Amino acid sequence: MLQTFEFEGALDQCQAVLEIDPDHLGALEVMAQAQWQAGQFEEVITTTSRLLRLNPHEPGYRYTRGMALMSRGELFRAAEDFKRAISQSDDMRFKTQVAGALDAVEMWIEEQSLRPRREENAKHFPRPKLQSDLVGRYH
């Protein structure tokens, strides 16, 4: 179902399985994938947190939750999940993929920390006029 983007049907089937077995890892994994495809990032965070309670050493769950956190703008929490996923995995391709996401998050965090200083500096040092702003005024 997920291959054809029928995430609603997949979610329904996962719910049916989870009613019988609330800790069914496969159903929870498919549910997280379907929630991701549906853009339900808060639900992805809830489902992957549940998966991590059941299997805290699965780096893929941390990566998925980190991506959902990043999508919601929760950059510090996302960075923590990415760092943990990297440390838990032995798969170099996976680690490289997660490291790319971590680099982006850390860059955004740094950018946010610099923004208040830039705004404060802008108050004291107005931006110079652009050449295009001056054209026509003096000619």
* CA dist., res. 117 & res. 125, Å (int): 12
Residue 138 belongs to a domain: no
Which value, in Å, is the radius of gyration of the alpha carbons in the chain?
Answer: 22
Residue 139 belongs to a domain: no
For 108-137, letters b (16+ CB in 10 Å) and e give: eeeeeeeeeeeeeeeeeeeeeeeeeeeeee
Find the mean pLDDT for residues 120-135: 54
First and final C-alpha spacing in the chain: 66
Which phi and psi (to 5°) does residue 56 adopt? -70, -10
- Give the relative orientation of helices 59-71 and 25-37 as an angle to the nearest 10 degrees: 30
Are the C-beta atoms of 68 and 36 separated by less than 8 Å?
yes
Residue-range definition of the domain harbouring residue 83: 2-126
- Tell me the pLDDT tens digit for each residue of 37-71: 999 999 999 999 999 999 999 999 999 999 999 99
For residue 105, what is the domain's CATH number? 1.25.40.10
Residue 131 belongs to a domain: no
Residue 44 belongs to a domain: yes
Residue 119 belongs to a domain: yes
pTM of the model: 0.76
Residue 135 belongs to a domain: no
Confidence of residue 123 (pLDDT cuts 50, 70, 90): low
Domain count, the chain: 1
Residue 134 belongs to a domain: no
Residue 34 belongs to a domain: yes
- Tell me the pLDDT tens digit for each residue of 97-122: 999 999 999 999 998 887 666 566 56
